[in-house]
Amino acid sequence: MDALALLKADHKTVEQLFRKFEKAGDHARTQKRKLVDELVRALSIHAAIEEQVFYPAVRARGDMLVSDVLRSLEEHHVLKLLLAELDGMSPEAERFDAKVQVLMEATRAHVVEEEQYLFPEVRKLFRPQELRSLGMQLEQAKGSAPTHPHPSAPDTPPANLVAGAVTAVMDLGRDALRAARRKAGLKVREARDATLSRQRTARQRETARASFEVDQGPALH
């Protein structure tokens, strides 16, 4: 897969998550939180590989697209600020849905800018085999990219390559801790539900027993 096809596939994945969020009901808080977690991860990785591999390669071809790349970097910065706020926000928060809406609008505008203007110009500057090679580099970069947004981290080489490696390790630990907490929370909920179920069953049996005794009337001697 060449670089532009890979990046467009990422865009499509994010758009599918956006549409799922839009279709979720007003009270689907758990589902919305899960979708936002997926968006945070997908967009963080996508932004990182563009900043580490794609944009530097485009800039290296000359000054023709430097202004486009710089604008894209600023758009990434805005998106990462929104993602960082959503990453730690409760889905019950008053502005949660509104903030996701702004994220969707900003991301969709960024995608249009890239796919309709930047990518066609990039295709003119790179030979097909070069785009395929660049696509392989992007795919490899995904394996070590940060999974959470870091708006204050550098976004251009070489500093972002070093920062990206450090934050990716931090994110791995963060993801593992979050997964462990969710697993522990699930076990607590399962234990609570099992206890409540046993209590319900005991009450139902007691009610049935009392009803049976009433129906039978007093014992005859």
pLDDT value of position 179 = 57
pLDDT band at 172 (very low <50, low <70, confident <90, very high): low
Q: CA 158, CA 125: separation in Å to the nearest integer?
A: 23
Q: CA 29, CA 11: separation in Å to the nearest integer?
A: 24
Per DSSP, 89 falls in state -
* Domain boundaries along the sequence of the chain: 3-179
**pLDDT digit string, tens, across residues 84-108:** 999 989 999 999 999 999 999 999 9
- Does residue 75 register a pLDDT over 60? yes
Mean pLDDT value of segment 65-75: 96
**pLDDT digit string, tens, across residues 33-51:** 999 999 999 999 999 999 9
Per DSSP, 219 falls in state P
- Does residue 220 register a pLDDT over 70? no
One-letter amino acid of 149: P
How many Cβ atoms are within 10 Å of 126's Cβ, its own excluded?
A: 18
Q: CA 72, CA 50: separation in Å to the nearest integer?
A: 10
Closest CA to 80 of 43, 32, 114: 43
- Does residue 186 register a pLDDT over 90? no
Helix (H, G, I), strand (E, B) or coil at 187: helix
Q: CA 19, CA 48: separation in Å to the nearest integer?
A: 23
Helix 3-23 and helix 29-49: axis angle, to 10°?
Answer: 160
**Alpha carbon distances (Å) from 108 to 27, 49, 115:** 25, 18, 10
How many Cβ atoms are within 10 Å of 15's Cβ, its own excluded?
A: 14
